[in-house]
Each structure stands twice: as C-alpha cells, then as structure tokens.
Amino acid sequence: MTDLINLQGKLDFENLTKNIVKRLEWLGSFAKDPEGGITRLLYSQQWTDTQQALKCWMETEGLDVKFDEVGNLSGILKGVNQTETVLTGSHIDTVKNGGLYDGQYGIVAGILALIYLKEHYGTPKCNLEVVSLAEEEGSRFPYCFWGSKNIAGSAYKKDVENLADSNGVIFSEAMSEAGFNFRNETKSPRKDLKVFVEVHVEQGNVLETEKKSVGIVKGIVGQRRFTIEVNGEANHAGTTPMGYRKDAVYAASHMIYETLNMAKQYGDPLVATAGRIDISPNIANVVPGKAAFTLDLRHNDKNTISHFTERFTEKIKDISREHGVETTIEKWLDTDPVPMDPQVTGLIEKKCKEKKVSYKVMHSGAGHDAQIFAPFIPTAMLFVPSEKGISHSPAEYTAPEDLAEGVKALIGTLYELAYK
C-alpha cells in the first residue's frame, strides 16, 4: 500500500490530498461500469470485491477488521477503554452509473483519519472505528439504509427478505450468496457506540457557490412526496373552443407554476420540485385529458412542511375549480426532519475555526445514514463541495483540496472525541 499512502515516515496534511484521490480511484476500480461511472449494488460481485479490497487495506494499516452479520465492514483502532466506540464511515454501495465520491469518500476519509491519528497520537482513549456500510441507496432492492439500520437495530428481516431486484433475484438469496445472513433481531443493537460522524459530498451547490470547503450539517430535512392527478377531458385540439375545454395540462401548469412560486416566497431552506409529469394521451393535436405530476417538498422544520402542505393543497383545489377539472392529491412519502447533535456539531465548528477550515453551518437536503444513527446516538455530519451540485452521475466531482479539508476537519473532530 505504500504506493498509495506514501508516508515518508508519517501521513501528513501535505500528502493527504493526493492520497485521497488515488485511493478513491483505486476503490472505484473494483466496480467500473462499462456504461460509465461505477455501479456497486448491494451483495453484487463488485460489492464483494470492493469490501474485500477495503478489508485488506484496513488490515495492512493495522486496524482490527470484522464484518457484521449483514456485511457492514469495520476497521477498529482499539482504545484504552474498549467498551466505548467513536464511529465514522459511510456507505459503500452506489446507484447505477454512480460517481467516485458519494458514499465511498466517507469511508476513505475515515480510514485516512484513523491512520493519521494512530501515527500522530497513538492509542486513543476509546475505540475508533471506521465502517463501510453495506447499503444506503436502495438501488438494487426497493429498500434504503440497510447497513445503518442493522447497526441501529431498526432493520427487520421480514421487510426485505422477499424483495426482488430487477432481474428477479430475491434479497435473501443475494445476501446468502455473498456469504451473509440476517442479524439476530432478538439481540439488542450495539451498546458500545457513543457517537457517529459521517463525512459525505454535499450533492448540492451551496458550498461551491459560497466558496466554502466544509459544511457542518445541523440537520437533515424532512421530506414529503405527493402525486397530483388532474382529470379533465380529452378533446380535439382544433374543434374545441378554449371556453369549452377541461384541459388537464393547462390546469397542471397553473398548479405547478403557483406552487413553485409559493415555495420561492417561503424562502430557504424550503425546496419544492415537480420532477415527474405524465400526460395522457400526450399527442400534439389532442387537448390533454389527464396530467399527473409529482411534488417533492423538503424543509428542516416539520411545522413549515405542514404549513406549506396546507397552503399548496388549498391553492391546487382553487386552481382545479377554476379550470373545471377533478384533482386528487396523494401523499406517498412522509419523513420527519432529523436534527444532528448540537454538542458534536458545536465541537466540529470549534475545530474548523481552530484549523482555519472555511466552513458553513447548513442543513442536508438529501437523506443520509446519519439520519438513521441520530435517533440512536449523538450524530454529526460533514459535507465537502460537489462541483455544480452534480451527484449520482459519473460527472460527480470534488476538488482534491476540498476532499483533504474534509478529512482534516474529521481528524480534528475524532481527536476531540477519542483522545481528549
């Protein structure tokens, strides 16, 4: 491994930058997708190859290594007191044709942080553990956070065992083929964990736009998703006067326009997105009889989400009446905002100030493993910038200097948590 971690005695901040990039590329090489980017779906051969490679690297660096029952891989730097553990890490799975940073950056950052701390400060007061979480994206089976939920004790065999992937392979078969089995749910979850810190790419363009290297996440947004279905009357586009129409697209456009206007008026951090539209019959010369669109709504305050929901629902009903169409609003996703631990985020902010890392306290608009840990143990998250906010794409990119600043902030944080 010395070609990758060229220590020249010790890992220092100077050689950190190039080591991170090399290590991410090395890790990505185990799951290259011929169609672009990397594809590393839960329990696939690419997944197994990568976890094995990581295990080998962790061992070489002198960490104690273990898989748990479901395939989460841990590298442990043992502390004086081995009954308590400071945990870092992120997920190893990717979406199809994903990028080099989402998930695996948090694992590489964690390993490099442990190497640095061990070399500079020796044995920590408690265990320091980096985890390569089995799954977060929900890209192979329709289930998210499989890795972190198993550690937090909120994953259940009955919820996943019969799920099938797009090739018809059943979850339990895929798991068993990869050499794993379900966690014994009668056993209580791990009691040694005292804190979890995750490092991740932002997947947005806030840090880039505001020219900050690190984001300190104060909370993960709550989300609601709706499908709004507008039923009008399909008619001939030439022979139906405007006044006799029940045009579903006219009504839906009006609804989308007014709802997004309202979202802008609410101001940050509220975001609303009409990401999907389905029209019927979707022919140029037919007045559309049906239009369905989705609305994805996020904010870090539950009351604001509820208030906005009430207001946009009223607005849509008014517009529906105005256009003489029938409209239904179906909510199909509803998750509460998850605050991060203020003590741990305060500590991170203090370290960033000390180390002169440029940072921004912000919320996360995307879901992360940290939201599974947060109700269970004190949890914090660090972001690094994503160029143009691009994520879930081979074009995902974070500048090496920013990747290094993220590790620097993580090192400072873990030092405070495990050595002081």
**Would you list which residues are annotated within the binding site for Zn(2+)?**
91, 102, 137, 200, 392
Residue type, 353: K
Q: Which of 1, 7, 80, 283 binds a copy of itself (CB under 8 A)?
A: 283
Residue reference for tokens 């709550």? 222
Residue 133: strand pairing partners? 91
Report how far residue 125's alpha carbon sits from residue 415's, in angstroms, rounded to the nearest whole number.
Answer: 10
Q: Which of 186, 242, 356, 420 binds a copy of itself (CB under 8 A)?
A: 242
Residue 296 binds to a copy of itself (criterion: CB under 8 A): yes
3-state secondary structure of 251: helix
Q: Restricting to residues 352-371, which ones interact with a copy of itself according to CB under 8 A?
A: 364-367
Residue 243 binds to a copy of itself (criterion: CB under 8 A): yes
Query: Shortest Cβ distance from residue 283 to a copy of itself (Å)?
Result: 5
Is residue 222 within 8 A of residue 128, CB to CB? The reply is no
Q: Which of 136, 137, 198, 202 binds a copy of itself (CB under 8 A)?
A: 202
Report how far residue 192's alpha carbon sits from residue 306's, in angstroms, rounded to the nearest whole number.
Answer: 37
φ and ψ at 300, to 5 degrees?
Answer: -90, 5
Q: Which of 289, 105, 84 is nearest to 196 (CA)?
A: 84
- Binding residues, by number, are 91, 102, 137, 200, 225, 285, 298, 392
353 CB neighbour count, 10 Å cutoff: 10
- Comparing CB distances to a copy of itself, the nearer of 81 and 261 is 261
Residue 346 binds to a copy of itself (criterion: CB under 8 A): no
3-state secondary structure of 168: coil
Is residue 63 within 8 A of residue 76, CB to CB? The reply is yes
Residue 276 binds to a copy of itself (criterion: CB under 8 A): yes
Q: Which of 19, 85, 104, 391 binds a copy of itself (CB under 8 A)?
A: 391
3-state secondary structure of 336: coil
Residue 279 binds to a copy of itself (criterion: CB under 8 A): yes
Residue 239 binds to a copy of itself (criterion: CB under 8 A): yes
Report the helix count and the strand count for the chain, using DSSP H and E: 12, 16
Q: How many residues bind a copy of itself (CB under 8 A)?
A: 62
Residue 237 binds to a copy of itself (criterion: CB under 8 A): yes
Q: Which of 253, 304, 309, 313 binds a copy of itself (CB under 8 A)?
A: 253
Report how far residue 192's alpha carbon sits from residue 230's, in angstroms, rounded to the nearest whole number.
Answer: 52
Q: Site residues (CB under 8 A) for a copy of itself?
A: 202-206, 209, 221, 223, 225, 233, 235-244, 247, 249-250, 252-254, 256-257, 260, 263-264, 268-277, 279, 282-288, 294, 296, 298, 364-367, 386, 388-392
